[in-house]
Amino acid sequence: MSQSTGHRPVVGRFAPSPTGRLHLGSLVAAVGSWLMAKRSGGSWLVRIEDLDTPRVVPGMAEDILRTLETLGLVWDGEVLRQSNRTHLYREALDRLTASGRAYQCGCSRSEIAQISSAPHGTSGELRYPGTCRDGLPPGKPPRAVRVRVDNELIRFNDCIMGEMSENLAETCGDFVLRRADGPFAYHLAVVVDDVLQGVNQVVRGADLLASTPRQIHLQRLLGYQPPDYCHVPLVTAPDGGKLSKRDAPVSLAEGVDIHSCGAVLIHSALTFLGQPIPPLLRRAPLREVLEWGVAHFDPLLVPRISAPFPEVALPY
* Cβ density class 119-141: b for 16+ within 10 Å, e for less: eebeeebbbbbbbbeeebeeebe
Report H helices in the chain: 24-38, 60-70, 86-98, 109-115, 168-171, 186-196, 212-222, 258-272, 286-296
Among 2, 12, 16, 176, binds ligand GLU (CB under 6 A): 16
Q: Which stretch binds ligand GLU (CB under 6 A): 13-21, 34-42, 137-145, 228-236?
A: 13-21
**Using the rule CB under 6 A, is 204 a contact of ligand GLU?**
yes
How far apart CA 168 and CA 93 sit, in angstroms, is 19
Q: Which stretch binds ligand GLU (CB under 6 A): 11-19, 174-182, 216-224, 241-249?
A: 11-19
Closest separation between CB of residue 106 and ligand GLU, Å? Answer: 29
How far apart CA 220 and CA 237 sit, in angstroms, is 37
Closest separation between CB of residue 51 and ligand GLU, Å? Answer: 9
Among 15, 176, 273, 286, binds ligand GLU (CB under 6 A): 15
Q: Say how many C-beta atoms besides its own lie within 10 A of residue 223's C-beta.
A: 8
**Using the rule CB under 6 A, is 193 a contact of ligand GLU?**
no
**CB-nearer residue toward ligand GLU: 172 or 208:** 208
Catalytic residue status for 245: yes
**Using the rule CB under 6 A, is 231 a contact of ligand GLU?**
no
Among 65, 144, 154, 208, binds ligand GLU (CB under 6 A): 208
Q: Is the dihedral of CA 85, 91, 93, 94 positive or negative?
A: positive
Q: Which stretch binds ligand GLU (CB under 6 A): 15-23, 177-185, 217-225, 295-303?
A: 15-23
How far apart CA 250 and CA 262 sit, in angstroms, is 10
